[in-house]
């Protein structure tokens, strides 16, 4: 069975799905590997690092896609390359089905087997395969680094002969994987850190990292069985708005990470709240690609809004592509290793790992709630 991966558009996506380390693992498992010419070269991976394990390089992406049984990518390919996929091929990546419903419907009709990795369930067995967590860790770290580089004051408290400089105050909105990493990074760099989340269970995690948890009055635990946040009631939203509105007046840096799987990101910071923030404050919105937690943020753009800098951080893991690629590639091989038996993929759709991320198989939709939801593209 042959696994293939074509080079991504490096202006949009610098990560790769197969590193030399993981290519060796695939080949040891019994797979053959085919890659585009110069695959990974921009990350310092030379062809000889791959070819010494038996990886083959193909000069034309069209020929590569036609040759292979499994295509592994970061996300969907462009339309020209996607059209080359054929029946019974397996395509694996972060497919964002809620956004790309129409494109995926076409692939289902072609009987391409589709795995969308971000749909993996949050269970113990899935931890080594969890691409959302691995990439979110990097995003949380980079969000803090980016914000600190733009914030025009010192971060830690400094006591000098000329007087004391107070520590910067950071608010992290959403205490999932990205949020917790943001809290830890900001604390390590000397900031005073506050955090809020709709899941009461996250309070202990925030406090274990040295953050102060801001609890909404009469909080309800808005957590799904899978450990994700779920949508709040209107009453809760109003109380949360009041809490944030008062808190933001004294905050220097805000890191927004709040997401609800399959839905538009909740709008938590309004224009009115931004108007009350101090000039020089910085807001990093990691949820901007899903609609944004903060008003006026735009994907990939930094905006100066009345002295408050708004950063629409849509692809922060791409800014650390070497480590992001290494983690993503390890997540993928952890998923494929247990299901590759006797030279074939052996998929047990009763296994919640498989049923969680298998969108379609042989033209049959296995994830009805995914392809029946969402917009077009």
Q: What is the DSSP string of 247-291?
A: HGGG-SEEEE----TTSPPP--B-HHHHHHSPTT-EEEETTGGGT
What is the distance between the alpha carbons of residues 205 and 197, in angstroms, rounded to a whole number?
A: 11
Longest dimension (CA), the chain: 73
Q: What is the pLDDT along the chain (377 residues), one digit of tens a residue?
A: 999 999 988 778 899 999 999 999 999 999 999 999 999 999 999 999 999 999 999 999 999 999 999 999 999 999 899 999 999 999 999 998 878 888 999 999 999 999 999 888 888 899 999 999 999 999 999 999 999 999 999 999 999 999 999 999 999 999 999 999 999 999 999 999 999 998 888 999 999 999 999 988 766 666 565 556 656 677 878 888 899 999 999 999 999 999 877 678 899 999 999 999 999 999 999 999 889 999 999 999 999 999 999 999 988 999 999 999 999 999 999 999 998 887 788 888 888 888 889 998 988 888 766 665 444 44
* 48 burial level (CB within 10 Å; 0-12, 13-18, 19+): exposed
User: Beta-carbon neighbour count of residue 96 at 10 Å?
Assistant: 18
Looking at the chain, which residues constitute the CATH 3.40.50.720 domain(s)?
A: 2-111+320-371, 137-319
What is the distance between the alpha carbons of residues 272 and 214, in angstroms, rounded to a whole number?
A: 20
Active-site annotation holds for 228: yes
What is the distance between the alpha carbons of residues 192 and 21, in angstroms, rounded to a whole number?
A: 39
Q: What is the pLDDT of residue 219?
A: 63
Active-site annotation holds for 122: yes
Q: What is the pLDDT of residue 207?
A: 97
Point out the catalytic residue in the list 125, 127, 128, 362.
127
Point out the catalytic residue in the list 105, 228, 296, 355.
228
Q: What is the pLDDT of residue 375?
A: 43
Contact indicator for 193, 185 with CB cutoff of 8 Å: no
Point out the catalytic residue in the list 50, 130, 360, 366.
130
What is the distance between the alpha carbons of residues 336 and 303, in angstroms, rounded to a whole number?
A: 42
Point out the catalytic residue in the list 5, 89, 133, 240.
133
Burial code (b: 16+ CB inside 10 Å, e: under 16) for 141-173 equals: bbbbbbbbeebeeebeeeeeeeeeeebbbbbbb
Tell me the two tokens of residue 272. Answer: 């009115």
Tell me the two tokens of residue 176. Answer: 């999932």
Q: What is the pLDDT of residue 135?
A: 95
Q: To 10 degrees, the CA torsion angle through 349, 353, 357, 363?
A: -10
Q: What is the pLDDT of residue 363?
A: 87
CATH number corresponding to 2-111+320-371 = 3.40.50.720
Residue in 249, 245, 252, 287 with CA at minimum distance from that of residue 266:
287
| Reported CATH class of domain 137-319 | alpha beta
What is the distance between the alpha carbons of residues 237 and 235, in angstroms, rounded to a whole number?
A: 5
Those residues with Cβ within 8 angstroms of residue 129's Cβ, 6 or more apart along the chain or in another chain: 117, 120, 331, 332, 334, 335, 353
Q: What is the pLDDT of residue 234?
A: 77
Point out the catalytic residue in the list 51, 122, 219, 270.
122
Active-site annotation holds for 133: yes
What is the distance between the alpha carbons of residues 231 and 363, in angstroms, rounded to a whole number?
A: 32
């Amino acid at each position: 069975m042959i696994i293939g991966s074509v080079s991504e558009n490096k202006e949009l996506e610098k990560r790769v799905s197969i590193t030399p380390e993981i290519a060796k693992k695939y080949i040891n498992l019994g797979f053959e590997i085919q890659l585009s010419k110069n695959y990974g070269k921009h990350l310092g991976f030379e062809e000889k690092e791959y070819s010494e394990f038996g990886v083959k390089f193909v000069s034309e992406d069209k020929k590569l896609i036609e040759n292979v049984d499994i295509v592994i990518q970061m996300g969907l390919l462009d339309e020209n390359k996607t059209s080359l996929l054929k029946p019974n091929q397996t395509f694996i990546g972060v497919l964002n089905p809620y956004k790309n419903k129409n494109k995926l419907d076409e692939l289902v009709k072609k009987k391409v087997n589709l795995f969308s990795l971000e749909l993996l369930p949050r269970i113990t067995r899935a931890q080594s395969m969890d691409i959302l967590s691995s990439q979110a860790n990097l995003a949380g770290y980079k969000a803090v680094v980016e914000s600190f580089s733009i914030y025009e004051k010192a971060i830690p408290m400094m006591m000098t002969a000329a007087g004391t400089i107070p520590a910067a105050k950071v608010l992290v909105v959403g205490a999932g994987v990205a949020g917790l990493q943001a809290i830890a990074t900001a604390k390590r760099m000397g900031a005073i850190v506050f955090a809020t989340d709709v899941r009461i269970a996250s309070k202990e995690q925030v406090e274990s990292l040295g953050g102060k948890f801001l609890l909404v009055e009469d909080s309800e635990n808005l957590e799904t069985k899978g450990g994700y946040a779920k949508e709040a009631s209107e009453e809760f939203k109003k109380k949360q708005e009041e809490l944030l509105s008062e808190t933001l007046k004294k905050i220097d840096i805000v890191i927004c990470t709040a997401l609800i799987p399959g839905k538009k990101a909740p709008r938590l910071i309004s224009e009115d709240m931004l108007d009350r923030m101090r000039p020089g404050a910085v807001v990093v919105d990691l949820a901007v690609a899903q609609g944004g937690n903060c008003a006026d943020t735009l994907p990939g753009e930094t905006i100066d809004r009345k002295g408050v800098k708004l950063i629409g951080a849509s692809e922060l893991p791409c800014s650390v592509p070497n480590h992001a690629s290494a983690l993503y590639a390890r997540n993928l091989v952890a998923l494929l290793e247990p299901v590759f038996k006797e030279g074939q993929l052996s998929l047990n759709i009763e296994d919640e790992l498989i049923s969680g991320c298998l969108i379609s198989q042989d033209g049959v939709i296995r994830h009805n709630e995914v392809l029946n939801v969402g917009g077009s593209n």
